[in-house]
Structure 1
Amino acid sequence: MIVRIMGEGQVKLDDAHFTELNKLDDELLAEMESGDETGFRRTLGALLEAVRRMGTPLPDDALEPSELILPSPDATLGEVREMLGDDGLIPG
C-alpha cells in the first residue's frame, strides 16, 4: 500500500504492518474524542514514526496514487478530526 504523509512524501508499506498501525489509530481516535491534546500529539507522532520506520520511502519524483493519506506531524486536533473516516485515519 502507498501511504502519503502530508508535507513529507510517500512510503510503500506492507499490509502486514496494519495491525500495529490500527492500534495506534484507535488510541489516537480515543484521545481525540476525549480532547486529550497531549496524548493526541504523542500518538500522532508515534503513528507517523511507525509508518516511516516500517515503510520504504518512494523517490521524490515518484507520483504513485496514495491509498492512504496521513496528516503532517504538526496537524492540529481539528485538522485531523476533519480527515477521519468511520474507522479513524487507517481503515480496518
Structure 2
Amino acid sequence: MIVRIMGEGQVALADSHLAELDGLDDELLAEMESGDGPGFRATLHELLARVRELGTALPDDSLEPSELILPSSDATLEEVRAMLRDDGLIPG
C-alpha cells in the first residue's frame, strides 16, 4: 500500500501493519471526539512515526497513486477532522 503523508512524501507500507495503525487511528478518533488537544497531537505524531518506521520512503520524484493520505504532523484538529472517513483515517 502506498501512503502519502501530506507535506512529506510517500511511503510503501505492507498491509500487515494496518491493524497496528488502526489502533492508533481509533485512539486519535476518541481524542478528537473528546476534544483532547494534547492527546490528539501526541497520537498523531505517534501514528506518523509508526508509518515512517514500518514503511519504506519512496523517492521524491516517484508519483505512485496513494491508497491512503495522512495529514502532516502539524495539522490541526479541524484539518484532520475534514479528512476523516466513517472509519477514521485508516480503513478497517
- TM-score of the aligned structures, taking structure 1 as reference length: 0.99
Percent identity between the two aligned chains: 76
Q: Which residue of 1 aligns with 2:55?
A: 55
Report the Cα offset of residue 53 of structure 1. 0.1
The answer to whether residue 41 in structure 2 is matched with residue 13 in structure 1 is: no
Give the whole-Å Cα distance in 1 for the aligned partners of 2:77 and 2:34: 11
In the aligned structure 1, how far is the partner of 2:59 from the partner of 2:82?
28
Runs of 4+ in 1 over 6 A off after TM superposition: none
Aligned residues: 92
Q: Which amino acid letter does the alignment assign opposite residue 52 of structure 2?
A: R
Structure 2: distance between partners of 1:45 and 1:67:
20
Q: Structure 1: how far apart are the matches of 2:61 and 2:81? A: 30
Shift of 1:38: 0.3
TM-score by length of 2: 0.99
Aligned-partner SS, 2:39: helix
